[in-house]
Amino acid sequence: MRRRAFLGLAGALAIPGCTAERAGVVLASRLPLPRPFTVPLTMPAVARPLVDGGTAYELVQRPSRVEIIPGTRTEVWGYDGTFPGPTFDVRAGRPITVSMVNELPVPTSTHLHGGVNPPQFDGYPTHLVVPTRRFVHEYPLSQPAATLWYHDHRMDFTGPQVYRGLAGMFILRDDVDDALPLPKGDKDIPLLICDRAFDADGSFLYPSLPGRPGVKGEYHQGVEGDVILVNGAPWPELEVDSTRYRFRLLNASNARRYDLRLDPAPPDSSAPFTQVGSDVGLLGAPQRLDRVVLASAERADVVVDFGAYPVGTEVTLVNRLDAGPAGQVMRFRVARRGNDDSRVPAKLADLEPLAPGRAVHRRRFDFRLSGPGAHGTHWKINGETFDPARTSATPRLGTTELWTFSSDFHHPVHVHLGHFQVYRRNGRAPGPADAGWKDTVDVRPFEVVEVLVRFEGHRGRYVLHCHNLEHEDMAMMANFDVV
Ligand code: C2O
Ligand code: CU
Ligand code: CU
């Protein structure tokens, strides 16, 4: 039997979560959970080129044992043995190479999520780098400043391999972004948010890990953990000045969605978040938000002004989609006054709105569960499971198409290569989480989301897929060929 049927979904056709906001099923940790806000937020190392000032990077994917839950050790599979992997901080228009050395016991394929890359360097699911080998990715980086991320993309095993630690941030900067008076330096902070469950000995719990009991059909919906990690630390705390900060929020969870709020909200009752960027770049103009909703793989670049709070205030980033431990994410403690010369200008970037009249082709992609059949239950697109040999669409390079995504459940739909703008959600105007250029869109149960996708940069074979990694591993993926 194919590995992707491992969840053995006998009779698991019901989708109990489908009316709720949640996209997965919680796997409970078997150790006492650490007290929230007792460990400091840390920053992943910054990736360094092999030669100072150079453009060639090398990362070694290897196991290592790290302290995540205080007093225990967790084996991670990390880029350079770290979880999250090193953060890239690189310039648009300056191509780099990244040599990925595989010192893990399993094959890998590394994808730069949101990157506009030639197909041979995109991390196609069957483009496997086997243990002891390396592969050199060439990234042209000819795209605007954005908060991208990189992660494993091995066919059928992306969920468990990302869960074990193969994910990191990739910050792309350019002159437009640099020229904005937004918070900079140590006030420009990536926050990689994910959930994990831990076994009694501190190891990661995941239903498919060998020797792990508890493989249950219900996890076909997606695996959620009960511990929230930010930059790899459980419910961390960050001391902040009473100034503005720029937070690059990434939902790197396998399945969990978040509805992020600040508690307390600012006393002056202004909206706590000012969003300046979406998945793949700056918004045209900032938008004020009471909450930030992120499905798997989505990013939001937001400015928070702690100047709205008295010094001494503890401000918690909470997740309204969970009533348990995963309802909290991290805490900011407003520790001191600070000078603030940053601001959020009314205009951020030239954002060309894509008009539907520009679309030269319309295509529909229906994301739906099917089964149980002879080969188990599958998440399918247009009734088909992923076959690397079959292509579902052939958009022309340099054109825009109107793609319609429909669903029976929560499916964060991600398109490789082609960035898009959300045109309509359920026949109406898109919501706040749909703003700007996107590479992933939160398609909720029984929704119909229309996006205008532009195919630029490269010809060749790419994938679109559900970014709930358990759905992706159960073949909710399709090829398209840019011709
Ligand atoms: Cu972030 Cu194809 O994935
Ligand atoms: Cu991607
Ligand atoms: Cu899905």
Residue 23's pLDDT is what? 79
Q: Tell me the domains of the chain and their CATH numbers.
A: 56-175 (2.60.40.420), 185-336 (2.60.40.420), 356-482 (2.60.40.420)
Residue 12's pLDDT is what? 35
Instruction: Let me know the angle formed at the C-alpha of 249 by 246 and 255, rounded to the nearest 5 degrees.
Output: 175
Buried-state track 385-402, b at ≥16 Cβ within 10 A, e below 16: bbeeeeebbebeeebbbb
Residue 434's pLDDT is what? 98
pLDDT digits over 107-156, tens only?
Answer: 999 999 999 999 999 999 999 999 999 999 999 999 999 999 999 999 99
What predicted TM-score, i.e. pTM, was given to this entire model?
0.94
Cα 477 to ligand 3 centroid, rounded to whole Å: 9
Size of the chain, expressed as the number of residues it contains:
483
Cα 332 to ligand 2 centroid, rounded to whole Å: 31
Residue 378's pLDDT is what? 78
The number of the ligand nearest the C-alpha atom of 378 reads 3
**Cα end-to-end span (Å), the chain:** 35
Q: Which residues line ligand 1 (CB under 6 A)?
A: 111, 113, 151, 153, 297, 414, 416, 465, 467
Residue partners of 282: CB distance under 8 A and separation at least 6: 144, 145, 176, 177, 180, 276, 301, 348, 349, 351, 436
If you average pLDDT over residues 2-22, what whole number do you get?
42
| pLDDT of 173 higher than 90 | yes
Residue 377's pLDDT is what? 67
pLDDT digits over 424-480, tens only?
Answer: 999 999 999 999 999 999 999 999 999 999 999 999 999 999 999 999 998 999 999
Which residue has the least CA distance to atom 3 on ligand 1? Answer: 113
CA-based nearest residue to 417, from 164, 225, 177, 139: 139
> Rounded to whole angstroms, how far apart are CA atoms 277 and 387?
34
Cα 84 to ligand 3 centroid, rounded to whole Å: 24
pLDDT digits over 262-286, tens only?
Answer: 999 999 888 999 999 999 999 999 9
> Rounded to whole angstroms, how far apart are CA atoms 56 and 51?
7
Residue 62 vs residues 85, 97, 98, 102: alpha-carbon distances, Å? 11, 19, 16, 7
Query: Please, which residues have CB less than 5 A from ligand 3, an ion?
Result: 411, 466, 468, 471
CA-based nearest residue to 137, from 250, 61, 44, 244: 61
Q: Note whether 85 and 44 are within 8 A (CB).
A: yes
Cα 148 to ligand 2 centroid, rounded to whole Å: 9
